[in-house]
Structure 1
Amino acid sequence: MDLALLRTFVTVHRAGSFTRAAALLGLSQPAVTSQIRTLERQLGRPLFLRQARGVTPTTIGDELAHKAAPHLDALVEITEAGLDDESSLRTLHLGGPLEFTAERALPALSELTGEDGRGFGLRASFGKAEEILEGLSAGHHDLAISTARPRGALLTATALCDEEHVLVAAPRWAATTETGAPRRSTASALEHIPVVEVHESLPFVARYWATVFDTCPTAPGTVVAPDLRAVLACAIAGAGLAVLPRYLCAEALERGDVLALHAPAVPPLRTYFLVVRTGTLAMPHIARAHEWLLRAAADWN
């Protein structure tokens, strides 16, 4: 059986779409369709059910993918291992959320880029989880960091770390809470404080209010800036309260530039996932970056 046909079949099975598989393989959609039809004729069985949006594997298709995929991935690993001495020529394309990628992932990976004979070039793209995962699926990224766990067989996700969210404001706002004790503040005691956020929908504040206070925030965003580092700077300047990842505001809290307005027994957490296209960890530069980030994340808090 032609290995090229099997490779195309496994890619379609993982992608769930002839169009997406064609983009990943660098082929035209008609070429992919032709190869799948050829394989189906050789086997005498249909491998996919064509639908309005993508394809669904038949029972035979699932069985063949389960048997063939590990061997094809192993062949890729053997081939790529022979090129490992030239891995310094490789470029790793990383996608992820702006602040987390800039503050944590990129500094960690930068330690690998200068390794003698084993480093690689690094290119970063930033965006929302949906955009980044779509870019990874389309082959624009090699590795992605996402707050959403992807579905389907095309992408494989590994939990990277949890991010704690903290409700903070400048000291002058803490003194104005109704209780006079910010760490015991309630939602109603905070209603008079302006809100600083990354979007008009108040994603961080709304999630905090729902998780901790079991209600929705009533104040609109007074300052909206699409960068958490800008949100922190505005909070320090006294623009209002903000909900921020602890890693981003830890130094400001230690210096007293901002204070925590509440200390819930169980703080809100957000999980980050490290995501690759299934099978691509056979490529040494992707596998090295993946392993390095997992190790680095063990020390993040």
Structure 2
Amino acid sequence: MDLALLRTFVTVHRAGSFTRAAALLGLSQPAVTSQIRALERQLGRPLFLRQARGVTPTTIGDELAHRIAPHLDALVEIAEAGLDDDVGSRTLHLAGPPEFTTLRALPALTPLTAQGLALRATFGSAEETLDGLAAGHHDLAITTARPRGGLLAAVPLCDEEHVLIAAPRWAARIGASGGVQARGPTALEQLPVVEVHESLPLISRYWASVFDAKPAASGAVVAPDLRAVLTCVAAGAGLAVLPRYLCEDALDTGEVVALLDPPVPPLRTYFLVVRAGTLALPHIARAHEWLLRAAVDW
């Protein structure tokens, strides 16, 4: 049986789509379709059920994938190990949210550059990041969304605590945590809101988790970068919800104040994501391990 056909089959099985598999393999979609049909003719059985959005493996398709995928991955590992036994002289393409990648991930990976690893970072939303990883544009991705399907493999990296903050003068006006604790979200209705998007994603999540309510205000300042949000809040633009790691220094110096200390603060989980099988590549495996180790202290 042709190994090229099997490789294409496993890629389609993991991707759940001829289109995604074609992008990963560097082939055209008709070429992928033709190879799968050739393999189905050899086996005399259908391997996938075609649907409006992607494909679903048949029972025989699932069985075949589970039997051959580990062996194909092992062949890739052997081939790559022969080409590159060290981390050095390779480039790692990392994708993730701009703030977390800048302040956490890149500094953690920087020591690997002394071993010859080159780093290339791309910033984007969770959807953009996962789509880029699936298409083969990135080697590692950090995202707040856990991917589905067999193409991408995710492990929890760390949790971030979200904090409701404002400049001291706004905190004094509402009585800081005491006022919010006593009156709930009504104590915050007159405060301007600073956010990363018009839909108020961080504010809405915090309000739902802590107050079991929806925010009444709209964004007074909208800037698509959490660091810009922090700067605006410290300058007195209004309240915001930010990850604690991002605003911890500003809290310590008193530039901003936490408006509430809920018993169970809202958390958001970051996931470290790779394409299935790529941890066989030494430079990706090394960076993956390095990030997981660093995240223990995050």
- Shorter-chain TM-score category? over 0.9
Are 1:183 and 1:263, in contact at CA under 8 Å, matched by a contact in 2?
no
Between the aligned partners of 1:201 and 1:53, the Cα distance in structure 2 is 28
TM-fit CA distance, 1:86:
6.0
Counterpart Cα distance in 2 of 1:199 and 1:107: 27
The answer for the alignment partner of 2:15 in structure 1 is 15
Q: Which residue of 1 aligns with 2:283?
A: 285
Give distance in 2, aligned partners of 1:178 and 1:254. Answer: 19
Alpha-carbon contact 1:198-1:225 (below 8 Å) kept? yes
What is the distance in 1 between the residues matched to 2:283 and 2:20? 23
In the TM superposition, residue 178 of structure 1 has moved relative to its aligned partner by 5.5
* Corresponding letter in the other structure for 1:62: D
For 2:186, the equivalent position in structure 1 comes to 188
Alignment of 1:240-259 (within 5 A): 240-259=238-257
* One-letter amino acid of the structure 1 residue matched with residue 278 of structure 2: T
Residues of 2 paired with 1:29 and 1:230: CA distance?
42
> Deviating runs (4+, > 4 A) in structure 1?
none
- Tell me: CA distance 1:67–1:255, structure 2 relative to 1, closer, same or farther (3 Å): same
Q: Number of residue pairs matched?
A: 297
CA displacement, residues 145-186 of structure 1 (integer Å, 9 cap, x when unaligned): 110011111111100000000001111111111578357352
Contact 2:176 2:260 in 1 (8 A): no
Matched, 1:161 2:158: yes
Cα distance in structure 2, aligned partners of 1:214 and 1:18: 43
Q: Residues of 2 paired with 1:20 and 1:171: CA distance?
A: 50
Q: Structure 2 counterpart of 1:228, which letter?
A: L
Shift of 1:33: 1.6
Q: CA separation of 1:83/1:225 partners in 2, compared to 1, >3 Å: closer, same or farther?
A: same
For residue 181 of structure 2, give the secondary structure of its aligned residue in structure 1: coil
Is the contact made by 1:24 and 1:138 (CA closer than 8 Å) also made in structure 2?
Answer: yes
C-alpha spacing 1:45/1:255, structure 2 compared with 1 (3 Å): same
- Alpha-carbon distance between aligned partners in 1 of 2:63 and 2:177, rounded to the nearest angstrom: 65
Deviations 1:2-51 (A, max 9, x none): 21111111001011111211111111222212221221122111111122
In structure 2, C-alpha distance between the alignment counterparts of 1:38 and 1:73, rounded to whole Å: 22
Q: Match for residue 210 of structure 2?
A: 212
SS at match of 2:198: coil
Q: For each residue in 1:227-247, what CA deviation from the matched residue of structure 2 results, as whole angstroms up to 9, or x when unmatched? A: 100110111111111100000
Gaps of 5+ in 2: none
**Percent of counterpart pairs with the same letter?**
77
In 2, the alpha carbon distance for the partners of 1:103 and 1:180 equals 28
Structure 1: gaps of 5 or more residues? none
Return the TM-score normalized by structure 1: 0.95
Matched residue SS, 1:89: coil
- Aligned-partner residue type, residue 131 of structure 1: E
Residues 158 and 226 of structure 1, relative CA distance in 2, 3 Å threshold: same
Q: Secondary structure at the match of 1:275?
A: strand
Does structure 2 retain, via aligned residues, the 8 Å contact 1:179–1:189?
no
Partners of 1:129 and 1:68 in 2: CA distance: 31
- 2:81 partner amino acid: A
